[in-house]
Amino acid sequence: MKTRTLELAVGAFLIAGFLAFAFLAIKVSGLSFAAPEGSYLVNARFENVSGLTVRAKVTIGGVLVGRVTGIRLDPETHAAMVEMAIDGSVKGLTTDTTAAILTSGLLGEKYIGLEPGAEDTELQPGDIIRDTQSALVLENLIGKFLSNQLNKSTEE
Amino acid sequence: MAEQRTPGARVAGLGADALAIVEAVGRAGIMLFHSVATVPNLRTALPLLARQIYAIGVLSLVIIIVAGLFIGMVLGLQLYRVLVDFGSEAALGQLIALTLNRELGPVVTALLFAGRAGSAVTAEIGLMKSTEQLSSMEMIGVDPLRRIVAPRFWAGVIAMPLLAMIFSSVAILGGWLVGVEWLGVYDGSYWSAMQNSVEFGEDIGNGIIKSLVFAAVCIWIAVFQGYDAEPTSEGISRATTRTVVYSSLAVLGLDFLLTAVMFKGF
Residue A33 pLDDT class (50, 70, 90 cuts): low
Q: Residue B203: its chain A contacts at CB < 8 A?
A: 29
Nearest CA in chain A to B194: A28
3-state secondary structure of B260: helix
Among A6, A18, A104, whose Cβ lies nearest the Cβ of B51? A6
Interatomic CA distance for residues B252 and B241, integer angstroms? 17
Overall average pLDDT of the B236-250 stretch: 95
What are the start-end ranges of the H helices in B147-205? 150-176, 187-197
Classify residue B4: in a domain, yes or no: no
Among B53, B169, B193, whose Cβ lies nearest the Cβ of A109? B193
Query: What distance in Å separates residue A58's CA from the closest CA in chain B?
Result: 12
Taking 80 as the threshold, does the pLDDT of residue A143 lie above it? yes
Tens digits of residue pLDDT in A67-91:
888 888 988 888 889 998 888 888 8
Classify residue B207: in a domain, yes or no: yes
Residue B198's identity, in one-letter code, is V
Q: Residue B46: its chain A contacts at CB < 8 A?
A: none
Q: How many CB atoms lie within 10 A of CB B125?
A: 26
Q: Residue A109: its chain B contacts at CB < 8 A?
A: 90-91, 193, 196
Residue B266 pLDDT class (50, 70, 90 cuts): very low
Q: Residue B139, exposed/middle/buried by CB under 10 A (0-12, 13-18, 19+)?
A: exposed
B57 touches chain A (CB under 8 A): yes
- The answer to whether A123 and A95 have CB atoms below 8 angstroms apart is yes
Taking 80 as the threshold, does the pLDDT of residue B196 lie above it? no
Interatomic CA distance for residues B107 and B199, integer angstroms? 19
From the candidates B63, B64, B92, B196, which should be mutated to test the interface with A, based on the most A CB atoms within 10 A?
B196
Taking 70 as the threshold, does the pLDDT of residue B233 lie above it? yes
Interatomic CA distance for residues A136 and B108, integer angstroms? 40
Q: Average per-residue pLDDT in chain B?
A: 89
Interatomic CA distance for residues A78 and A46, integer angstroms? 10
Number of domains in chain B: 1
Tens digits of residue pLDDT in B59-105:
999 999 999 999 999 999 999 999 888 878 888 988 999 999 999 99
Q: Residue A106: its chain B contacts at CB < 8 A?
A: 87-88
Among B88, B169, B194, whose Cβ lies nearest the Cβ of A107? B88
B101 touches chain A (CB under 8 A): yes
Q: Residue B117: its chain A contacts at CB < 8 A?
A: none
What are the start-end ranges of the H helices in B177-232? 187-197, 206-227
User: How far, CA to CA in Å, does B163 sit from each of A54, A127, A144, B98, B263?
Assistant: 30, 47, 53, 18, 23
User: How far, CA to CA in Å, does A9 sit from each of A12, A36, B59, B118?
Assistant: 5, 37, 10, 20
Nearest CA in chain B to A16: B166
Domain encompassing residue B44? 9-262
Taking 50 as the threshold, does the pLDDT of residue A31 lie above it? yes
Higher pLDDT, B1 or B56: B56
Query: What distance in Å separates residue B234's CA from the closest CA in chain A?
Result: 30
Q: Which ipTM did the prediction report?
A: 0.80
Q: How many CB atoms lie within 10 A of CB B23?
A: 10
Residue A106's identity, in one-letter code, is L
Query: What distance in Å separates residue B164's CA from the closest CA in chain A?
Result: 9
Among B86, B192, B203, whose Cβ lies nearest the Cβ of A107? B86
CB within 8 Å: B195 and A56: no
